[in-house]
Each structure stands twice: as structure tokens, then as C-alpha cells.
Amino acid sequence: MNVRARGVAPVELKWGVTITPKSKYGTRRSGQDFTIRGIEGKEEIEGAPVAQELIIPLSFSFDSPGRHTFTLANLSDAIGNNVNPSLPQHTLKHSHQIVDTDFSHVRTFDVLSRPSAAFEKCQPGKDIQLLKGKEGHSEIIVKAESYDEQDGWGAHISFVPDETSKPVLTGVAGVMGKVAGKVASAIDKATAPAPWSKFFPAASGSSKISIPVTEAGTYTLTRVAGDLCQGVVRSPEVCRVVEVPLPRAEVEVQRIHECSGDVGIHTIFTMDGTPPFRIHYTTTDRKA
């Protein structure tokens, strides 16, 4: 940011900045004043004092989000002239008056905050479970720790599927075995999920992005970004999704009998899966 000035060098410039931070719980303004002394012209002029056109660069770091208002307070030169830039200067000669409407003693900048986000409920060792046969039943959530409503935010997600286990072909040898293996490999490639990378925008005013999960694998939050500002990826940035196999039960039935005949059955269920289990069965009484 530059200041255009005119005066007899060296000149002195006083300026200030007021910062109004963004906060959901109110705003607390802060300000700073600066003075730049000994501003020389581009060339030395001997003899009578002569006013020069000066371009004065101002350096300031936009570290905090909010509204930054820069104000020129006073300009003085080597022969004692003092000018308040906020007041109209009627004493300037016509040839020296600034008519460009882009020039002003006040400049305002809206500094946006950078978004930051991480996966929610995805901790190491605590995988998201995907029920087999229940497509879209599970979901992963990206939660923003901070974002600017003026800029919005979104998440770039990459997915790498789990490697499918190759089927074991037993009892097949020779040419038939090779053919069967190639067919099985081709089927696996055709049906296996492919890696992908997608961008998921957040709804306006929402701090969460819900992503339906249809495949087991590793989901990685690679980038967080707004419309204008690049964001920060927080931890955890990796979410593992594992497929839970369908429950399976094996039934073993033993008759209970006395000397007079059968009086009942003894049934043993051997179950695989995640407890607790629920078994539905029916009984049929067949009378002669």
C-alpha cells in the first residue's frame, strides 16, 4: 500500500490503523499509530525549497482477521507545512489538486479468517464400521474448527479402497485352473472400487460436511479451502472404514428321547459376527 504525497523533503507522515476483529460474542476494537520521519525525495534539489511528488510505501502485516481501517493523520514537510489529509485542501494550486476519486485518506480491508477442519469421531484404532449390504448406512463427518462466513469452506477428500483378497482355487489344476484364475481376477478388477479424490462444499452457515460411505478403505482429508483462502488440515485427517461381514450361524440339532420315544431336541447355535445376536426361528408340530 502506497501513499501519494507532495511537499518539501524531508517530510513526516503520521498514520494509524484500527482493527475490528470478527467475533460471535461481540467486537473489541484495537488501534495503532505510526510515524515515518525523514522521508526524502527521489532527487536532491539545490537552492530554494521545491515541493516534490513523493510515493511513500506503508508496510503492515494482516495477522488477525477482521476489518482493518488505515487512516492518514498528518503530513508535514521541511518548511513547516502541516496538512490533515482528512480535511479539504483549498489552498492547493489547481495544477496540484488531486482529482482522481481513487485517492483517499482512508483505506479499509476486510481480512478473512482461514478455515480449519478435521474428521469427527475418527480416532486411530476406532474405525468406522460399514455394514455389508447396507449401502450408505454409515457416514463420515468433516467438522470445521473455524471458518469465515464471508468465504465459506469445503473439504478435499481422497479415498483408497482396501485390497480385496484373492480367491483360493482348490482342486483345479492345469489349463482349467489358469483360466479360472484369470476369470476370477477379471471379475475382481471389474467390481472392485476405484480410488478417487473429490471436493465436498459445506452448506452455507454449516460447520459440518456429512459424506455417505459406501466402500471400505482409507479416507484422507487432503485439503481445506474457502472460496478465497486456503485452509488448515487438523488432526485426525485420516479415517478408516472397515466392512463388517454379515452374521453367520451354524445349527446343530440333537434329539432328546426317552424309552417311550422322542421328547424334544437340543439345539446348539454357533454364531460369527458382532454381538449381541438375535435369532429368529420357527417350530412346526407335525402330528401323525
pLDDT tens per residue, range 243-256: 887 777 888 877 77
Distances (CA, A) of 18 to 29, 73, 108, 239, 240: 7, 12, 9, 43, 47
Q: Which residues contact 253 (CB under 8 A, 6 or more apart)?
A: 265, 266, 267, 268
Provide mean pLDDT across the span 186-213: 85
The pLDDT tens digits of the residues spanning 52-80 come to 888 888 888 888 888 899 999 999 988 88
CB atoms within 10 A of CB 16: 14
Q: How far apart are CA 284 and CA 250, in angstroms?
A: 20
Q: How many residues does the chain have?
A: 288
Q: Which residues contact 199 (CB under 8 A, 6 or more apart)?
A: 154, 155, 156, 157
pLDDT at 99 over 50: no
pLDDT level of residue 25 (50, 70, 90 thresholds): very low
- Residue, of 142 and 259, whose pLDDT is higher: 142
Cβ-defined contacts of 248-255 (< 8 Å, 24+):
248/272, 248/273, 249/277, 249/279
Per-residue confidence (pLDDT) for residue 191, from 0 to 100: 65
Position of cell 483505506?
107
The pLDDT tens digits of the residues spanning 131-178 come to 776 554 688 999 999 999 889 999 999 999 987 644 444 455 555 556
174 dihedral zone (left: phi>0; alpha: psi -120 to 50; beta): left
Query: Is the pTM here over 0.85, yes or no?
Result: no
Q: What's the gap between Cα 40 and its chain centre?
A: 47
Beta bridge partners of 243: 130
pLDDT level of residue 13 (50, 70, 90 thresholds): very high
Domains of the chain: 2-111 (no CATH), 116-161+193-244 (2.60.40.2030)
Residue 94: phi and psi, rounded to 5, are -60, -35
SS3 40: coil
Radius of gyration of the chain (CA): 37
Q: Is the dihedral of CA 224, 230, 236, 239 positive or negative?
A: positive
pLDDT at 87 over 90: no
